[in-house]
A and B are shown apart, each in its own frame.
Chain A
Amino acid sequence: MAANLPTQAQVQGGAGVTEPGITHDEHAHHDEHHEQSFLEKYIFSTDHKVIAKQFLITGIFWAIIGGTLSSLFRLQLGWPESTFEWLSPFLGKWIEAGKLNPEFYLALVTMHGTIMVFFVLTAGLSGTFSNFLIPLQIGARDMASGFMNMLSYWFFFLSSVVMFSSLFIETGPAAAGWTIYPPLSALPQAIPGSGAGQTLWLVSMALFIVSQLLGGVNYITTVINLRTQGMSMSKLPLTIWAFFLTAILGLLSFPVLFSAALLLIFDRSFGTSFFLSDIYIAGQALPNTGGSPILFQHLFWFLGHPEVYIVIMPAMGMVSEILATNARKPIFGYRAMIGSLLGISLLSFIVWAHHMFVTGMNPFLGSVFMFLTLIIAVPSAVKTFNWLATLWRGNIRFTTAMLFSIGFVSLFIAGGLTGIVLGNAALDIQMHNTYFVVAHFHLVMGSSAFFGLWAGVYHWFPKMFGRMMDEKLGYVHFWLTFLGVYLVFLPMHYVGIAGFPRRYYAWTGFDTFSQFADLNKFISAAAIIAFFAQFVFIFNFFYSIFRGRRATENPWNSTTLEWTTPVVPGHGNWPGAIPAVHRWPYDYSKPGAAEDFIPQHVPYSQTQSSNLPYEKEME
């Protein structure tokens, strides 16, 4: 096991802090690290920082694809009467006589959901920042197993290749929705997308789950075993708590999706009937009896619900960190923040059936799930109030990361409130499968998590690439996106209340919906403009990697350990010993302190003027 090294380096570094006399042989070894080839350094790297960048750039690639798909179907929804001949060089046979193929429309929706939820907001978000920040913020030289970490990326890459290739096959990619409910997803004769496209989808997801598992066990183990001297669980930055609990959610929920996917593969390819029973298709009776499509929904949502927290919790953690740093105030209610993360994590496993209120479940069971679902509002509200209280009378610096963090809080509130509506079984029966649901989750989970992702990129970009992203372009990006998101999803609530069903190709056949045709056009226009605004970010990102203003070691005057590393940390993160930790991560604007922040590694003996009474007692 080549991966034993970080543990030993860690232990030695840690020991070195308490006994300053000891020299650090291990680090001398690190400095004269042999020249790595390009392949070792950038492609098959075991360095968590490089792996994080690989996840980020793959995530950006996927976000462009996912966004393009949404622009395509928004074109169709906004202008259902128009012809799109001009798209045929791009979409080929999926444009028939100027009209978008209706089955391909379903594939577009399916792939947009799959890509955004899994490839961007799971792998791209927690893959990037768990990898980048866990070792840096807890004071470790690398992940527990660098090799498995590398495998985690390459399984994700493989899964990406399979999913991407499914976009180009003759029968088109999977088209049964990102939730791939059988029987539609199980029967190739039902829709072309349930042919090879669905097979590739399942294979890709199986690989994706392996990647998640390899990453997850690494994140959890690293947080438990590799914290530096003094870094107790109650001195961890909230980012780490969020990544830690996210990894646990993934570890426990993804295997159930794996089970469901495997059973579905058998139904599709080997003639079993786990999810199939009593089906007539095109007048033909199928031989399958005894299975249950509802069973699939239970298995799927046992992952699916924790999945939305897998998406949102890393964003919550990063936003907490960025808000405190840029409000120059300690995070309000540090322990309550951890407690609410724990509460959300626990509850996320026992609410899945609120996605299934209309499956004919026993109303009593529905009310149990409704009750548990509504309880989630409590930890969510604790977090929201704490964020607002952190901002309250803060010395706010409006960096781009800060803007996106505030935007996150705004979107989380706006989307969270409608969650209370949808969590009610009685109301959900009315709203189910309408655009109200689409608007709700795009705000509370999709856009919010994206805002967390952007905030994280803007905030930690200097540590990733040693340069700053451009602020002016960042502001342009923020305002176009922030307004864009609200202009897309606020009207969508009205469309949903009016009864527009999801996943419809066009509503032109219904008189009742004609009065909302303008609103749909408006939504589409806003969505497409917001999509193009992202190219400002992409330009800024790649331009700044090479041409950005050079960063200092700690450009945001932040307290956490990653800012004690060199501008661009090398393999092993700290050239000397790993700093030990003495205090919590939120000593901002401490009364009596010389500066408005005291980094975690500064001992109390050096801050006599600001030590609180109980801190003095430790003398």
Chain B
Amino acid sequence: MSTISTTQALSDSALDKPRTGTWDGGNEPFKASYGKLMMWFFLLSDAFTFAAFLTTYGLIRHRHGVYEGTPEAFKFSTNYWPIPEKVFDAFPGLHGYHLPLGFVALMTMILIFSSVTMVLAVEAGHRFDKKDVQKWLLWTILFGATFLSCQAWEWTHFITGTEKGTLMNDGTVFHGANLAMNQYGPVLFADLFFFITGFHGTHVFSGVCLLVWAFIATTNGTFEKRGHYEMVEKIGLYWHFVDLVWVFVFTFFYLV
């Protein structure tokens, strides 16, 4: 600019310096690295995916008949939406007992515990304690894998069905459920169950893969060399999110 005719004294004044507030640039306004921000935004986006599925669940359930008898007299029928605790009442090794939501409660507990161990892994990362990071990551992996195995059992049981089966509207008796037939209620109950718990399970599976990778990287000292365990923290964010989503899935499919 040709207006440079100022004295040297002036150039030291405030007129020369850019502002330095929180949002004035040159810093990280949320005190979070770009990687962490990206993880937050990804999770926000993913939350909308799940929200769309749960909305789908709500709208489709709303279209279906409601069971109006007493809970004691409940029988499976394709004509109305089932009472979830009548569907999910089995426990491995306890065949024949009616344990409403017993197994899924255990699964939920395991997943919540995995969140606790995840927190401990992140905390150990802050302390720069490699051994502890490894230990707690391993526990988290273990709990995550257990949850997935439980889900596999839950699915198998759901697919196999009860011994009696249900008399379908076409006069045949059908056991269990698949994407086109369902002994517990309308076919969409099964469709949504497989789809949404499956989608959540895929997320848990990805999380376990990430954790295994983080465990290997920790063991190899990658994060130590990098000077921080932020990657563990980012995976932790993802893991807590997946847990949180499960709380919603659990509420929709098992409680209401």
Contacts and interface: CB of A to CB of B under 8 A. Distances in A.
A519 interface: no
Contacts of A225: 28-29, 33-34, 37
B173 interface: no
Nearest to B12: A605
B163 interface: no
A302 B18 contact: no
B95 interface: no
B187 A229 contact: no
Interface stretch (A122-130, A252-260, A374-382, A473-481): A252-260
B44 interface: yes
Interface string A291-306: 1100100110010000
Interface string A221-233: 1101111111111
B3 interface: yes
Given A221-B34, A259-B56, A266 B195 contact: yes
Interface of B: 1-6, 10-11, 13-21, 23-26, 28-30, 33-35, 37-38, 41-42, 44-46, 48-49, 51-53, 55-56, 59-60, 63-64, 179-180, 186-188, 191-192, 195, 199
Given A230-B18, A232-B23, A608 B3 contact: yes
A259 B60 contact: no
Contacts, number: 187
Interface in A299-317: 299, 302
Contacts of B38: 144-145, 148, 217-218, 221
Contact of A255 (B15, B18, B37, B49): B49
A595 to B, nearest CB: 7
Contact of B53 (A213, A259, A581): A259
A241 to B, nearest CB: 14
Nearest to A611: B15
Interface stretch (A35-43, A271-279, A537-545, A547-555): A271-279
A288 B38 CA distance: 41
A7 to B, nearest CB: 6
A553 to B, nearest CB: 14
Closest 10 CB pairs of A and B: A230-B18, A229-B26, A259-B52, A227-B25, A231-B25, A144-B34, A605-B15, A14-B26, A604-B15, A255-B49
Given A603-B16, A606-B3, A272 B25 contact: no
A254 B25 contact: no
A222 B191 contact: no
Nearest to A234: B23
B2 A594 contact: yes
Interface residues of A, number: 76
B45 A595 contact: no
A255 B34 contact: no
A273 B187 contact: yes
Contacts of B64: 290
A414 interface: no
A256 B53 CA distance: 9
A580 interface: yes
A361 B251 CA distance: 29
A227 B18 CA distance: 12
Interface in A214-254: 216-218, 220-222, 224-233, 235, 251-254
Nearest to B29: A224
Nearest to A616: B15
B41 A221 contact: yes
A7 B33 CA distance: 9
16 contacts: A11-B26, A17-B18, A217-B42, A221-B37, A222-B34, A224-B28, A225-B33, A226-B34, A231-B24, A232-B19, A251-B44, A252-B44, A252-B48, A270-B179, A608-B6, A619-B10
B25 A299 contact: no
A558 B164 CA distance: 79
A88 interface: no
A594 B3 CA distance: 6
A218 B187 CA distance: 41
Interface in A41-76: none
B2 A273 contact: no
A1 B33 CA distance: 13
B64 to A, nearest CB: 6
B5 to A, nearest CB: 8
B22 to A, nearest CB: 9
Nearest to A295: B59
Contacts of B17: 18, 603
A581 B21 CA distance: 13
Nearest to B6: A605
A24 interface: no
Contact of B187 (A289, A302, A610): A289
B3 A227 contact: no
B242 to A, nearest CB: 15
Given A217-B41, A606-B3, A619 B60 contact: no
A607 B1 contact: yes
A251 B18 contact: no
A609 interface: yes
Given A273-B187, A602-B1, A256 B34 contact: no
A14 to B, nearest CB: 4
Contacts of B52: 255-256, 259-260, 299, 302
A53 B45 CA distance: 27
Interface in A560-617: 580-582, 593-595, 598, 602-611, 615
A18 to B, nearest CB: 7
B200 to A, nearest CB: 13
B179 A18 contact: no
Nearest to A270: B179
A604 B11 CA distance: 9
Nearest to B28: A225
A256 B18 contact: no
A363 interface: no
B6 A233 contact: no
A232 B25 contact: yes
A287 interface: yes
Interface in A200-224: 213, 216-218, 220-222, 224
Contacts of A618: 14-15
Q: Which of B2, B15, B33, B35: most chain A CB closer than 10 A?
A: B15
A172 interface: no
A263 interface: yes
Given A235-B25, A602-B1, 9 more contacts: A217-B41, A226-B34, A229-B18, A252-B45, A274-B192, A298-B55, A603-B18, A608-B5, A619-B15
B60 A291 contact: yes
Contacts of A145: 34-35, 38
Contacts of A14: 25-26
A4 B73 CA distance: 63
